Amino acid sequence: MLQTIQETATYLKSKMHTHPETAIILGTGLGSLVGEITDKHEIKYEDIPHFPVSTVEGHSGKLILGKLGGKDSLAMQGRFHYYEGYSMKEVTFPVRVMRELGIKTLFVSNASGTTNPNYSIGDLMIITDHINYFPEHPLRGKNIPYGPRFPDMSEAYDKELIRKADAIAAEIGVKVQHGVYLGTQGPTFETPSEYKLFRLFGADAVGMSTVPEVIVANHCGIRVFGISVITDIGVEGKIIEISHEDVQRAADAAQPQMTAIMRELIHRS
Ligand code: HPA
């Protein structure tokens, strides 16, 4: 495993002219951040040795190297979801490669349904903590010596970055929520009873990504900032039918605010 990660990193280093310490996983709601990257150099996932191969034809994804918020950055356009059939080792492989490349800070975004009655569609939620509800743990198996066998998770989302994001949101007049993100395997959206259960667990938002990558980043000593756009309501009595298109539409509408916060946060991080 370690050798595979290092081989991938060696290949990427041979293609890189910069030494970024910032990485971004461009999830739902952050697609337009790509347009803000300058001095771009793109590497298709399919050209990277050992990188997971996309299950969807024509959606292979790519790594984008360039400058964002004045910083040398590495962006992942396209992430690997557990529901697509990837193992947790594959889902989190790019984060381990980031560790080998010298990445110190990881920014992630996603879309989610809310279980919090005080949230609305289009709200941005800064992730303060998560609940791992995936059926497989990304660190299961032989420990890779990037971190301890039993990693601490008391501050999975960096408090200083959260403080900075709050300050930026206030400056630019964007309302942000703070909450707990629960990650499920998907691909179904939740039944009303599942949303109710997740609320009882302490979740404010539910989605199908992020948690595995954040766990592995923490294990690797990479600090994390995460933000979620609320695209649907999972609150008892308010639940309506939802489709992937609804999620996409709501995420697209919130995209300018999300992008503005991220760009400035990367600049100040
Ligand atoms: N549940 C799970 N994943 C999601 C949701 C949801 O309600 N909305 C967007 N992604």
Confidence of residue 48 (pLDDT cuts 50, 70, 90): very high
Q: Is position 186 within any domain?
A: yes
Q: Is position 82 within any domain?
A: yes
CATH number of the domain encompassing residue 83 = 3.40.50.1580
Q: Is position 144 within any domain?
A: yes
Q: What value does the mean pLDDT take over residues 34-46? A: 92
C-alpha 59 to ligand 1 mean position (Å): 21
Q: Is the CB of 90 under 6 A from ligand 1?
A: no
Q: Is position 177 within any domain?
A: yes
Q: Is position 34 within any domain?
A: yes
What string of H, E and C letters represents the secondary structure of the chain?
Answer: CHHHHHHHHHHHHHHCCCCCCEEEEECCCCHHHHHHCEEEEEEEHHHCCCCCCCCCCCCCCEEEEEEECCEEEEEEECCCCHHHCCCHHHHHHHHHHHHHHCCCEEEEEEEEEECCCCCCCCCEEEEEEEEECCCCCCCCCCCCCCCCCCCCCCCCCCHHHHHHHHHHHHHHCCCEEEEEEEECCCCCCCCHHHHHHHHHHCCCEEECCCHHHHHHHHHHCCEEEEEEEEEEECCCCCCCCCCHHHHHHHHHHHHHHHHHHHHHHHHHC
C-alpha 94 to ligand 1 mean position (Å): 23
Q: Is position 47 within any domain?
A: yes
User: What range does the domain containing 78 cover?
Assistant: 19-243+254-268
pLDDT value for 247 = 86
Please report the atom of ligand 1 found closest to the CA of residue 247: 9
C-alpha 147 to ligand 1 mean position (Å): 31
Residue range 53-105, pLDDT digits in tens:
766 555 568 999 999 988 999 999 999 999 999 999 999 999 999 999 999 99
Residue range 221-241, pLDDT digits in tens:
999 999 999 999 999 988 888
pLDDT value for 35 = 87
What percentage of residues in the chain have a pLDDT greater than 90?
Answer: 83
pLDDT value for 142 = 95
Q: Is position 2 within any domain?
A: no
Counting the structural domains of the chain, the total is 1
Q: Is position 126 within any domain?
A: yes
Confidence of residue 33 (pLDDT cuts 50, 70, 90): confident
